[in-house]
């Protein structure tokens, strides 16, 4: 049909099927701001448009429904590249992070302000009720609306909500626009899907309906006959190369236990075959024609099942060690089944696949038995944060691959472009120089894009066929085949003297890796290494075992095991305080780490290498606890007017790391351009967190030039130097430091070159704002310096380099306080107050730092109260959509939600900065559980803490 409608004020005539989905139609005609995050579930709001002035979900509309009507998208808001007032306010408020559906939010807030000129908090909440924001936690949207309202009368009105730091610095610690904020909020073509060209093929995956099975036979002949099918990949025609999908530094502390397609499938949703075809319709038809005969095996889903003596083995393939093979390897390999393939360990990590153990480690300091003997009180508790928590990025996993001559080009949404290149090269059997990985803007990662989950399949398909191919997960595939948090069972035994002083801590941690062992050692270790060192005690012991199962795959997720370790340890501390009759906050104060404390336990918590004890050189716990105590009026009992509602308060302390000293590496280069401006090349991968802005600020501050004079290219393996990637809270500390070092190197180059031109010694020269070299006799602008150095007789373009590695650790700390109201009649839980006070050293981007705290906390509120995959008896996940899975929305934001930045001056971080984001996920579970206990007297020792579980604990059901 010929469809006529008004699009952003312009009459449009489009040929379409009457039943075409409106989102698809709009995207097809170039409106790329309208995106798909939920496959038509009308939950995430990325597909929002205005239809006759009202906000609606375009994926719930067919073309015939917009005939003769007016459609507006975010493209209507900004003219000639300028931002609208609402868009400007959103960037300034710090809500533009990964930003996949930020254009939709801009459209919605614009509609709100047209409808309600001075909206209340409830109005804003209602307007954003259709938008799922995973990264920044909603709170700053209220600030954005206030900014937009104020700027009607005062266009210069500034965001004064975030604190600023260090008056002597121009850009560091100041509220400055995120460098990619404008293009993100405008909805420009920045994501992988936007690179897709006409004529490219698509890839669809045939996935296993069984949790464990051998593929007895697979017949693709009928499917291959379908016109438009390019190729079909199975275990029969793909490399027998084994690898880990974990995007970690090589050699990885994760077993190489999967290949592109295996003869055995190990979970519901595992890969069976991939069809590459000219269209989704053809690919779908081809999938239906593939005949697979399975030998279905008994499957195991839980840690207990995996541990059982008669448990089926998830991996019974040949075990291979690249180094330091154990003596009993031959015995272990006596009865391996070749259909199971291989498990290759780069070095020993305590794995024993014949007992379903993917990795293990046992260690400690001091003598815990002696410590328990010396204790006046010993308690032992088990905590079960067992739920499979999903990262749920708004942008579903995606890859676009094509050939450039004999080189493979990969457009990726990844946290680890250089690991993608290395692993893909290994799988394809080609050298790294034949591959270019371009990290596009990433619409949410949270750890799940640290792993190589679909990139290598698409890469192989393109490399073997020459075709350009697009592949994106559906939301269901995100849940079934992506990577979730590792469920854990954690037993904590602690001893303390009557005065509260800890004498011994023992943590017995068992984790469920799912079918493959990505991060099998390091995630559970991190649960220990980010929870135990918060306490000063001479005797620590930990036993960590990670088991294989046939549940959903697991991997990295923001916090990387720490939220679960923190939950167990902080709960045990609170339970011990109760046993001792102590105030839990006093107990924490008595036993906590202080500035200068030596963290001895870290010497047995290396990530696959020998650890080292490290000092807590900077630690903001003291001021955080002091301020939080006052904010929440600790000790004051709150009473509800409703007799069914009981109110309680909780407190926890948390920590994380800043990258992996001794393991990570970052590099950057910076070039002076012909007019004295700069181009910065960072290997770092900005996930929307503001890392590019951090890097630009480093350069602008050192070189005393405006941030607009520094442009950045990052995460492109052809054009930027190596970086291990954005994980382990490494962005600011590692990649930011590399940019800082590159800028300092450039500064030296500038002074040396200026010295020759100005005929003054370097010692007499200094750099001054705005972008000039000042000597005792004269001054030289960067523009003139560039002309001199790049002219025919010049010394050559000025280039600075930065290379950052370190053995020094910078630990971020925090104290989280919560006040909850529990309805003991219904079990309903309401978070009335949540105060997150975090020491991030010097926050380079204060507004973005606060946004990441809000986002991390809200995510973990979701994990604590709502989220978790549920399986049927056959291993199928039942809640593979965002709503039934249970992500938090704006209606779940605590009534009083505050993120406070506690300043400390760390000597190791760039300008004193430490990491900010991951740590924020460590507090919610224990602090909410502790507050529930204060309110009701029950200890909630498993996730998620649902109303039903509360009622069970209260004996109501």
Partner 1 sequence: MIKEVLKPASLDEAVKLKSSDNYYLSGGTQVNWTPAMEIRRSNGMPEIEKVILLQGLLSEDIKKEGSALIIGAGSTLQNIVDSPLAPDALKKAAGYIASRNVRNMATIGGNIAANRADSYIIPCLIALKADVETVGKGIMCVDKYIREAKDSLIINIILPEVEGACVIDVSVKSSAAYPSVTTAVRISKRDAVVAVGCVSDHVIRLKDVEAGIVNGSLSGESLLKAVSDSINPQSDLAGSSEYKKYLAGTMIAHSVELSRKEGLV
Distances (CA, A) of 24 to 68, 205, 595, 666: 18, 21, 56, 40
Could you say which of 6, 613, 951, 954 contacts partner 1 (CB under 8 A)? 951
Q: Strand, coil or helix: what is 486?
A: coil
Q: Which stretch binds partner 1 (CB under 8 A): 56-64, 291-299, 383-391, 935-943?
A: 56-64
Q: Is 946 in the site for partner 1 (CB under 8 A)?
A: yes
Q: What would the DSSP string read from start to end of 661-699?
A: TTT--EEEEEEE-TTS-EEEEE-----SSSHHHHHHHHH
**Cα-flanking dihedrals φ and ψ of residue 919, to 5°?**
-55, -30
The CB-of-111 to partner 1 minimum distance in angstroms stands at 10
Q: Is 866 in the site for partner 1 (CB under 8 A)?
A: yes
Q: Is 567 in the site for partner 1 (CB under 8 A)?
A: no
The CB-of-924 to partner 1 minimum distance in angstroms stands at 14
Q: Which of 490, 481, 563, 488 lies closest to 515, judged by CA?
A: 481
Q: Which two tokens stand for residue 342?
A: 């291989």
Q: Which stretch binds partner 1 (CB under 8 A): 208-216, 447-455, 525-533, 864-872?
A: 864-872
Name which of 498 and 956 has its Cβ closer to partner 1.
956
Q: Is 940 in the site for partner 1 (CB under 8 A)?
A: no
The CB-of-117 to partner 1 minimum distance in angstroms stands at 17
Q: Which of 549, 78, 470 lies closest to 301, judged by CA?
A: 549
The CB-of-561 to partner 1 minimum distance in angstroms stands at 25
Q: Strand, coil or helix: what is 804?
A: strand
The CB-of-390 to partner 1 minimum distance in angstroms stands at 15
The CB-of-804 to partner 1 minimum distance in angstroms stands at 41
Name which of 331 and 948 has its Cβ closer to partner 1.
948
Q: Which two tokens stand for residue 289?
A: 């024609």
Q: Is 468 in the site for partner 1 (CB under 8 A)?
A: no
Spatial distance between the Cα atoms of 141 and 11, rounded to a whole number of angstroms: 33
Count of positions on this chain that bind partner 1 (CB under 8 A): 51
Q: Is 386 in the site for partner 1 (CB under 8 A)?
A: no
Spatial distance between the Cα atoms of 766 and 14, rounded to a whole number of angstroms: 61
Q: Is 638 in the site for partner 1 (CB under 8 A)?
A: no
Which residues make beta-bridge pairs with 709? none
Hey, which residues between 16 and 35 contact partner 1 (CB under 8 A)? 17-19, 21
* 770 prior amide bond cis, ω within 30: yes
Q: Strand, coil or helix: what is 437?
A: strand
Q: Is 948 in the site for partner 1 (CB under 8 A)?
A: yes
The CB-of-888 to partner 1 minimum distance in angstroms stands at 6
Q: Which stretch binds partner 1 (CB under 8 A): 58-66, 174-182, 547-555, 714-722?
A: 58-66
Q: Which residues, 6 or more positions from 869, have their beta carbon under 8 angstroms from its beta carbon?
A: 387, 388, 390, 479, 484, 552, 877, 878, 879, 880, 885
Hey, which residues between 872 and 911 contact partner 1 (CB under 8 A)? 878-879, 881, 883-884, 886-892
Tell me which H or E stretch contains 123.
helix 121-127
Q: Is 12 exposed, middle or buried (0-12, 13-18, 19+ CB in 10 A)?
A: middle
Q: Is 784 exposed, middle or buried (0-12, 13-18, 19+ CB in 10 A)?
A: middle
Edge-to-edge strand ranges of the sheet holding 678-682: 710-714, 678-682, 666-672, 799-804
The CB-of-746 to partner 1 minimum distance in angstroms stands at 49
Q: Is 464 in the site for partner 1 (CB under 8 A)?
A: no
Hey, which residues between 328 and 357 contact partner 1 (CB under 8 A)? none
The CB-of-51 to partner 1 minimum distance in angstroms stands at 8
* 251 prior amide bond cis, ω within 30: yes
Q: Is 42 in the site for partner 1 (CB under 8 A)?
A: yes
Name which of 49 and 425 has its Cβ closer to partner 1.
49
Q: Which residues, 6 or more positions from 343, have their beta carbon under 8 angstroms from its beta carbon?
A: 242, 255, 256, 257, 315, 317, 318, 319, 320, 351, 353, 517
Q: Is 55 in the site for partner 1 (CB under 8 A)?
A: yes
**Cα-flanking dihedrals φ and ψ of residue 116, to 5°?**
-130, 95
The CB-of-202 to partner 1 minimum distance in angstroms stands at 17
Could you say which of 870, 876, 938, 942 contacts partner 1 (CB under 8 A)? 870
Name which of 813 and 866 has its Cβ closer to partner 1.
866
Q: Is 56 in the site for partner 1 (CB under 8 A)?
A: yes
Could you say which of 109, 127, 604, 702 contacts partner 1 (CB under 8 A)? 127
Name which of 40 and 662 has its Cβ closer to partner 1.
40
Name which of 29 and 957 has its Cβ closer to partner 1.
957
Q: Which stretch binds partner 1 (CB under 8 A): 39-47, 138-146, 213-221, 728-736?
A: 39-47
Name which of 281 and 718 has its Cβ closer to partner 1.
281
Hey, which residues between 822 and 851 contact partner 1 (CB under 8 A)? 825-826, 828
The CB-of-265 to partner 1 minimum distance in angstroms stands at 22
Q: Which stretch binds partner 1 (CB under 8 A): 15-23, 261-269, 769-777, 849-857?
A: 15-23
Distances (CA, A) of 229 to 222, 283, 520, 704: 11, 7, 38, 57
Q: Which residues, 6 or more positions from 97, have their beta carbon under 8 angstroms from its beta carbon?
A: 135, 136, 688, 689, 690, 848, 851, 852, 855
Q: Which stretch binds partner 1 (CB under 8 A): 40-48, 264-272, 414-422, 791-799?
A: 40-48
Q: Is 39 in the site for partner 1 (CB under 8 A)?
A: yes
Spatial distance between the Cα atoms of 499 and 504, rounded to a whole number of angstroms: 14
- List the x/- string, 770-809, binding to partner 1 by CB under 8 A: ----------------------------------------
User: Rounded to the nearest 10 degrees, how much is the dihedral formed by the CA atoms of 694, 773, 674, 800?
Assistant: -50
Could you say which of 121, 152, 216, 956 contacts partner 1 (CB under 8 A)? 956
Q: Is 41 in the site for partner 1 (CB under 8 A)?
A: yes
Residue 145 and residue 113 in contact, taking contact as beta carbons nearer than 8 Å? yes
Give strand ranges (E) for 8-157: 10-15, 48-51, 54-57, 70-72
Q: Which stretch binds partner 1 (CB under 8 A): 61-69, 95-103, 448-456, 925-933?
A: 61-69
Could you say which of 26, 34, 59, 203 contacts partner 1 (CB under 8 A)? 59
Q: How many CB atoms lie within 10 A of CB 247?
A: 32
Spatial distance between the Cα atoms of 392 and 885, rounded to a whole number of angstroms: 10
Q: Is 394 in the site for partner 1 (CB under 8 A)?
A: no
Spatial distance between the Cα atoms of 592 and 572, rounded to a whole number of angstroms: 14
Q: Is 45 in the site for partner 1 (CB under 8 A)?
A: yes
Q: Is 595 in the site for partner 1 (CB under 8 A)?
A: no
Q: Which stretch binds partner 1 (CB under 8 A): 323-331, 358-366, 804-812, 863-871?
A: 863-871
Q: Strand, coil or helix: what is 192?
A: helix
Could you say which of 865, 916, 927, 929 contacts partner 1 (CB under 8 A)? 865
Could you say which of 7, 25, 34, 61 contacts partner 1 (CB under 8 A)? 61
The CB-of-444 to partner 1 minimum distance in angstroms stands at 18
Q: Is 596 in the site for partner 1 (CB under 8 A)?
A: no
Spatial distance between the Cα atoms of 621 and 812, rounded to a whole number of angstroms: 9
Tell me which H or E stretch contains 567.
helix 562-580
The CB-of-129 to partner 1 minimum distance in angstroms stands at 5
Tell me which H or E stretch contains 855.
helix 846-865
Q: Which residues bind partner 1 (CB under 8 A)?
A: 17-19, 21, 38-43, 45, 48, 54-57, 59-62, 64-65, 126-127, 129-130, 825-826, 828, 862, 865-866, 870, 878-879, 881, 883-884, 886-892, 946-948, 951, 956-957
């Amino acid at each position: 049909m010929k469809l006529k409608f008004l699009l952003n004020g312009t009459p449009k005539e489009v040929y379409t099927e009457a039943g075409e989905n409106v989102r698809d139609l709009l995207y097809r005609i170039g409106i790329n701001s309208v995106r798909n995050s939920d496959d038509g579930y009308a939950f995430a709001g990325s597909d929002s448009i205005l239809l006759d002035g009202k906000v609606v979900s375009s994926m719930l509309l067919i073309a015939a429904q917009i005939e003769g009507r007016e459609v507006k998208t975010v493209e209507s808001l900004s003219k000639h590249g300028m931002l609208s007032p609402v868009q400007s306010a959103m960037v300034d408020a710090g809500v533009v992070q990964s930003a996949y559906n930020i254009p939709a939010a801009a459209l919605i807030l614009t509609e709100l302000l047209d409808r309600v000129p001075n909206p209340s908090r409830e109005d804003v909440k209602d307007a954003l009720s259709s938008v799922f924001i995973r990264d920044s936690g909603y709170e700053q949207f209220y600030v954005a609306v206030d900014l937009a309202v104020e700027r009607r009368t005062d266009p210069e009105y500034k965001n004064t909500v975030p604190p600023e730091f260090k008056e002597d610095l121009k850009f560091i610690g100041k509220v400055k626009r995120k460098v990619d904020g404008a293009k993100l909020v405008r909805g420009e073509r920045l994501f992988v899907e936007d690179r897709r060209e006409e004529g490219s093929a698509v890839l669809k995956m045939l996935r296993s309906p069984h949790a464990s099975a051998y593929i007895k036979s697979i017949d693709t002949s009928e499917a291959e006959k379908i016109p438009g099918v390019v190729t079909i990949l199975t275990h029969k025609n793909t490399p027998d190369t084994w690898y880990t999908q974990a995007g970690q530094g090589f050699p990885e502390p994760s077993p190489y236990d999967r290949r592109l397609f295996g003869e055995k499938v190990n979970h519901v949703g595992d890969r069976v075959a991939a069809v590459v075809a000219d269209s989704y319709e053809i690919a779908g038809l081809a999938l239906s024609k593939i005949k697979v005969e399975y030998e279905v095996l008994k499957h195991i889903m839980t840690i207990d099942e995996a541990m059982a003596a008669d448990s089926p083995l998830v991996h019974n393939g040949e075990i291979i060690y690249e180094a330091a093979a154990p003596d009993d390897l031959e015995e272990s390999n006596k009865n391996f089944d070749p259909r199971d393939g291989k498990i290759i360990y780069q070095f020993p990590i305590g794995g024993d696949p014949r007992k379903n153990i993917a990795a293990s480690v046992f260690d400690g300091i001091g003598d815990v038995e002696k410590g328990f003997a010396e204790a006046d009180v010993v308690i032992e508790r088990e905590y079960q944060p067992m739920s499979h928590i999903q990262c749920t990025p708004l942008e579903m996993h995606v890859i676009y691959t094509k050939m450039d001559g004999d080189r493979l080009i990969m457009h990726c949404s990844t946290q680890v472009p250089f690991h993608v290149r290395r692993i893909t090269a290994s799988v394809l059997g080609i050298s790294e120089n034949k591959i270019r990985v371009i990290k596009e803007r990433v619409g949410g990662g949270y750890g799940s894009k640290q792993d190589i989950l679909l990139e290598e399949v698409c890469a192989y398909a393109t490399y073997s066929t020459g075709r350009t191919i697009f592949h994106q997960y559906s939301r269901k595939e995100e849940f079934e085949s992506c990577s979730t948090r590792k469920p854990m069972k954690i037993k904590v035994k602690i001893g303390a003297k009557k005065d509260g002083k800890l004498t011994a801590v023992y943590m017995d941690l068992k984790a469920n890796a799912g079918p493959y062992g990505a991060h099998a050692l390091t995630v559970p270790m991190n649960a220990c290494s980010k929870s135990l060192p918060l306490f000063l005690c001479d005797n620590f012991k930990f036993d960590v075992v990670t088991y294989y199962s046939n549940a959903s795959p697991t991997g990295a997720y923001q916090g990387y095991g720490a939220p679960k370790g923190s939950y167990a340890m902080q709960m045990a501390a609170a339970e011990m305080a109760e046993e001792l009759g102590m105030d839990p906050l006093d107990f924490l104060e008595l036993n906590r780490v202080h500035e200068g404390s030596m963290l001895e336990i870290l010497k047995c918590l290396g990530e696959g290498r020998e650890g080292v004890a490290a000092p807590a050189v900077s630690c903001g716990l003291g001021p955080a606890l002091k301020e939080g105590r006052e904010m929440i009026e600790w000790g004051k009992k709150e009473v509800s007017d409703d007799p069914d509602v009981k109110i309680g308060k909780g407190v926890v302390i948390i920590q994380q790391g800043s990258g992996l000293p001794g393991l990570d590496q970052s590099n950057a280069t910076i070039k002076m351009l012909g007019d004295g401006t700069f181009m910065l090349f960072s290997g770092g991968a900005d996930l929307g967190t503001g890392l590019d802005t951090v890097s630009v600020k480093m350069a602008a501050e050192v070189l005393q030039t405006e941030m607009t004079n520094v442009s950045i290219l990052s995460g492109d393996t052809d054009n930027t130097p190596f970086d291990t990637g954005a994980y382990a809270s490494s962005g600011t500390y590692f990649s930011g430091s590399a940019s800082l070092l590159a800028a300092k190197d450039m500064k030296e180059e500038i002074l040396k070159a200026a010295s020759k031109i100005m005929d003054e010694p370097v010692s007499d020269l200094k750099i001054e704002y705005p972008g000039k070299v000042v000597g005792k006799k004269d001054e030289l602008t960067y523009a003139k310096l560039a002309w001199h150095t790049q002219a025919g007789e010049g010394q050559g373009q000025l280039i600075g380099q930065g290379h950052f590695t370190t053995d020094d650790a910078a630990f971020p700390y925090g104290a989280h306080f919560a006040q909850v109201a529990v309805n003991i009649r219904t079990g309903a839980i309401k978070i009335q107050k949540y105060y997150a006070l975090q020491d991030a050293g010097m926050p380079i981007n204060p507004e973005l730092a606060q946004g990441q705290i809000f986002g991390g906390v809200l995510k973990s509120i979701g994990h604590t109260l709502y989220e978790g995959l549920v399986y049927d008896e056959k291993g199928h996940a039942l809640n593979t959509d965002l709503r039934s899975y249970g992500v938090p929305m704006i209606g779940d934001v605590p009534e009083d939600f505050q993120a406070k930045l506690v300043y400390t001056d760390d000597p190791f971080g760039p300008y004193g900065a430490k990491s900010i984001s991951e740590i924020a996920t460590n507090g919610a579970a224990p602090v909410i559980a502790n507050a529930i206990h204060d309110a009701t007297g029950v200890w909630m020792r498993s996730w998620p803490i649902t109303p039903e579980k509360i009622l069970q604990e209260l004996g109501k059901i």
